[in-house]
Amino acid sequence: MRELPVLTPHEERARRFLEARFAKTSADGVYEAHQAIYGWDSPYSAPGKLMRFNLNHAILRAAGQVRFASVLDVGGAEGYLAHLLAEVYGAEATSCDLSAEACARGTQLFGLPTVAVSASRLPFDDASFDLVTCSEVLEHLEDPIGTLREIRRVARRAVIITTEEFASDGLAAYLERFRLADFDAHGERNIFTRRDLELGLGEGERRWCGQCKPHQYSEHLDLATARRALHEIAAAESGPRDGEEGIILVQGLDADVWRERPFDDEALWTKLFADVHPPLREPLDMQRGLHPALLPLFGDALREGAVRLHAGVPLAYRPADDAALDEQAERLELLRRTFLARPLPAPPEQIREAAFLERVLDALREGALPGALASPRDAARTLDDPAARAKLVAALWEREPFVTGRLEAPLAGSVVREGDAFGGWAVAHVPITSFVLRVDGREFDLGAPQPRPDVAARFPEQPHAGASGFSGAFLGVAGFAGRRRIAFVARLEGGASAVFAEVELELRG
């Protein structure tokens, strides 16, 4: 077994919050479930049952596309999704979560093997599970890309990811990241583009589907009306686009993983609505032993005293201490005072603020703020001074160039033929000297930026936005025939360069 990691301060705050959440019971002693495990009409489940039923159905439908005999659900709460995948598809299911209390509920309710983990440092061997799922978890995490890489590492055949926090382009993602910059123990702190998810998961065939949320429907529906509403919502789901309310990504990791779905939508709805559990009133059994399925992984460590159990759940981490939490709280107070107490800027300023906040967060996390800024208390005073703050902005931009842009044509997935046109724009914190198209490691110069008055109007506070356009035509396509990933690069004054758009295209000679 791998050496147990120590939780980061953020993970520790989230763990304590979640332990309290999954220990909650009603006034008459019933466990208050996160998922709608007690059926449609029960008052003992968290709000949002219509949304949860819809998402569980969509994940079951997505899982029907892939062959799997074992599954791990990462961030699985009380284990309901892992249980459903086991019941519907006959898979051996395991659930893991940061909260040991949540995991213990999964074993108590469904008999599942469960493990308390840090999602970015999973205790399992490479390729341990045919399928790994992670639903509505990444947006809460401190290290979502690291978590995606861990999910990919322990998956053998396929991965399913869902998140509501999705933006179809990088500019929208930056704006939303500013909105999500809260510091709750379990708040939403990330928003993702396709490129983010692809960066974490690496190579593989991807199938994308959009989520559609049931905002127009009341929570207080009778069962028959709820089923009709859920059929309407499911029928509306399609690929991600601007304004979409989330995505479901299925990524295959080997060529023969795909299959025809064994159950149609109606069969899945029937299974979902029939899966009803009686209200749980029994307390957790703190004397419960390790689940037999986990003995090969944790048995020796348990006998040696290297792993502790909570109601039979192995803790595959060591909690952070209070001193680390106090230090993080001081830094969070700095960020609150510096950023969140100020009114939200207008859009052009907002883009810079969002990126600035992101880099300050990174610098604080890495301990990379120089001089007086290395001390959170001193940093608060320094950042209040406009001149000192301007110097920090410049230093942070030097750490990583900031470029935002958009490819206006062709669209992702398009078929491109000889002579087809392309174009778009990009804006950076310094002048762009030229644009480059990159395919299969080869670079093709697109020349200097072209005038784009519309982009200048969009970014009135960016003095370089007027010279931001690029255009051209695909030539010599026959030499690159097939599905290719095309990157568009901005070369910046001073020598730096940055990719601002990537797209997968079918090139045909």
Element (H, E) at 74: strand 70-74
* Residue 374 counted as domain residue: yes
User: What's the pLDDT score for residue 307?
Assistant: 95
User: What's the pLDDT score for residue 343?
Assistant: 38
- Do 331 and 460 fall into the same domain? no
Out of 399, 427, 449, pick the residue that ends a domain: 399
Q: Rounded to an integer, what distance in angstroms lies between the CA atom of residue 99 and that of residue 257?
A: 32
- Do 385 and 420 fall into the same domain? no
* Residue 434 counted as domain residue: yes
- Do 267 and 137 fall into the same domain? yes
CATH code for the domain in which residue 442 is found = 2.60.40.10
Q: How many CB atoms lie within 10 A of CB 266?
A: 10
**Which letter does DSSP use for residue 343 in this model?**
P
In the chain, how many domains are there? 3
Give start and end residues of each alpha helix (H) in 161-262: 170-179, 194-201, 223-236
Out of 367, 399, 431, pick the residue that ends a domain: 399
- Do 448 and 339 fall into the same domain? no
Sequence letter at residue 48: G
Cβ contacts of 371-380, under 8 Å, gap ≥ 24: 376/330, 376/331, 376/333, 376/334, 377/330, 377/334, 379/334, 380/334, 380/337, 380/338
* Residue 1 counted as domain residue: no
Q: Rounded to an integer, what distance in angstroms lies between the CA atom of residue 191 and that of residue 200?
A: 14
CATH code for the domain in which residue 250 is found = 3.40.50.150
- Do 242 and 351 fall into the same domain? no
Cβ contacts of residue 411 below 8 Å, gap of 6+?
Answer: 503
Give start and end residues of each alpha helix (H) in 111-222: 144-154, 170-179, 194-201
Q: Residue 115 sits in which domain range? A: 9-314
Q: Rounded to an integer, what distance in angstroms lies between the CA atom of residue 410 and that of residue 356?
A: 31
Instruction: Evaluate the CA torsion angle 310, 313, 315, 321 in order and state its sign.
Output: negative
- Do 407 and 390 fall into the same domain? no
* Residue 23 counted as domain residue: yes
* Residue 228 counted as domain residue: yes
* Residue 4 counted as domain residue: no
* Residue 15 counted as domain residue: yes
- Do 340 and 376 fall into the same domain? yes
pLDDT along the chain (509 residues), means of 10: 85 93 96 95 90 93 97 98 98 98 98 97 97 95 89 98 81 51 68 84 91 68 85 64 71 95 94 94 95 96 94 95 71 50 39 51 54 45 54 53 78 82 86 92 93 82 81 87 90 86 85
Out of 293, 314, 335, pick the residue that ends a domain: 314
Q: What is the per-residue pLDDT across 235-247, written as a single tens digit (0 to 9) for each?
A: 765 444 443 578 9
- Do 183 and 212 fall into the same domain? yes
- Do 190 and 237 fall into the same domain? yes
User: What's the pLDDT score for residue 446?
Assistant: 95
- Do 393 and 409 fall into the same domain? no
* Residue 2 counted as domain residue: no
User: What's the pLDDT score for residue 410?
Assistant: 85
Count CA within 13 A, CB hemisphere, residue 358: 23
User: What's the pLDDT score for residue 234?
Assistant: 75
> Nearest 5°: CA angle at 192, between 187 and 194?
160
